[in-house]
Amino acid sequence: MPAVRRNSAFLADMLSETAQGHHEYDKLMDILKDYPDDDPEFDAMVKDNFPGAISNKELELKCVSLLAARGFHDTNTLLATSLCCDELARRLEDDFGKIYGSTFALGGLAGFPFAGITGFGAMVSHVPDDGYCLIIQGPHTGITKNGEIGKVERPNIALVDNCCGSAIAASNYVKGITCGGCPVTAKIQGFLDFQQSAVKELTLPHGKRLDDAGTERLKEVPYALFQSQDLILHDIINSVKKGLKHYQGTAILGGIQINTGPDTLDYFHPLRFELMNNDGEIIEDMLPHLTGEKSHRSEDQCVYVRSSEGDDDDESL
């Protein structure tokens, strides 16, 4: 496993970039100073439940440094996200937005890229000429101070709420089908809740996987959803490759957001961090520099979430 560099090395790189007239370091320091203090006991509990997870503080520091070394700066980068609608998912999005500027939102419920081909095509047309695009995507889950997964404490609310509510509802829907108990109905899903209907259907292929998880079902749900979301994003990119030509490259950071209460750091389990050129080809796996692991490529593992328009397109990123 490649050695992961210490945070001090990333800070040194960021200071070097500042000396060259870039401002990511100053912006990042402004963000990090408002973060909660580190909690070693809570940190150990989160990482025990989600091996491979790192705090948002560590993620932001390392990602911004790695990207700056590859030409991504606050003046030439468009941030795009495919994250859940939940306000807790905005924490990570807002932090990166404070560094790179306004965000193009591709995501909807549970983090699925509901903007689709049309939205993605519009997004790439907004990337600065000869600049870069950073895409952050993935589902989210929660963990409480006492280690309960799929729940989270929210500011100024006594209720310890579900997180992610959409994903949990979809998981329950799938369980009702695979294990029985789903009521017979003649109701056809309508427009008023079409995103949740889509989340349910896109969770169905993972029915056996979720059943096999047993008591750890809620821990497995976001990882199952990530596979579907990552594959859909792959197909969307393949459909709009011509739109990538006017800028230099795209970084894709994909993984699981792990939201926590207001007094503790949020976490992220990076599963994919890759650099793509303007031909839509992956030219570097950056995840080893971040976590020591290689990127998970869902398109190499899954074949079950495909649009009819994409069935004949076998190109890989």
- How many angstroms from the chain centroid is the CA of residue 269? 9
Question: What is the pLDDT, as a whole number, of residue 187?
Answer: 65
The answer as to whether 120 is a domain residue is yes
> Cα–Cα distances in Å, from 70 out to 2, 135, 275?
19, 15, 9
Query: Is the entire prediction scored with pTM above 0.75?
Result: yes
113-161 per-position pLDDT tens digit:
999 999 999 999 999 999 999 999 999 999 999 999 999 999 999 889 8
Mean pLDDT (the chain, rounded)? 88
Task: Tell whether omega for the bond before 164 is within 30 degrees of 0, i.e. cis.
Answer: yes
The answer as to whether 52 is a domain residue is yes
Q: Looking at the predicted structure, is the pLDDT value of residue 30 above 80?
A: yes
pLDDT more than 70, % of the chain: 84
* Total domain count, the chain: 1
112 in Cβ contact with 232 (< 8 Å): yes
85-119 per-position pLDDT tens digit:
999 999 999 999 999 998 999 999 999 999 999 99
The answer as to whether 169 is a domain residue is no
The answer as to whether 186 is a domain residue is no
Q: Looking at the predicted structure, is the pLDDT value of residue 303 above 50?
A: no
Q: What residues contact 291, with CB distance under 8 A and at least 6 apart?
A: 4, 52, 54, 270
Distance between CA atoms of residues 253 and 295, nearest Å: 10
In eight-state DSSP terms, residue 296 is P
Average pLDDT over residues 206-234: 96
The answer as to whether 184 is a domain residue is no
Which comes out higher in pLDDT, residue 103 or 21?
A: 103
The answer as to whether 51 is a domain residue is yes
The answer as to whether 174 is a domain residue is no
Question: What is the pLDDT, as a whole number, of residue 121?
Answer: 96
Q: pLDDT confidence of 296, banded at 50, 70, 90?
A: confident
The answer as to whether 268 is a domain residue is yes
Q: Looking at the predicted structure, is the pLDDT value of residue 167 above 70?
A: yes
What is the three-class DSSP state of 1?
Answer: coil
45-99 per-position pLDDT tens digit:
999 999 999 999 999 999 999 999 999 999 999 999 999 999 999 999 999 999 9
- What are the structure tokens assigned to 76, written together? 């030439």
Query: Residue 130, Cβ neighbours under 10 Å: how many?
Result: 11
Question: End-to-end distance of the chain based on CA atoms, in angstroms?
Answer: 24
Question: What is the pLDDT, as a whole number, of residue 15?
Answer: 53
Q: pLDDT confidence of 298, banded at 50, 70, 90?
A: low
| Residue 46, domain extent | 7-164+227-301
Q: Looking at the predicted structure, is the pLDDT value of residue 3 above 70?
A: no
Residue 131: φ, ψ to 5°: -100, -145
Q: Where are the alpha helices (DSSP H) in 33-183?
A: 40-49, 56-68, 90-100, 116-124, 165-178
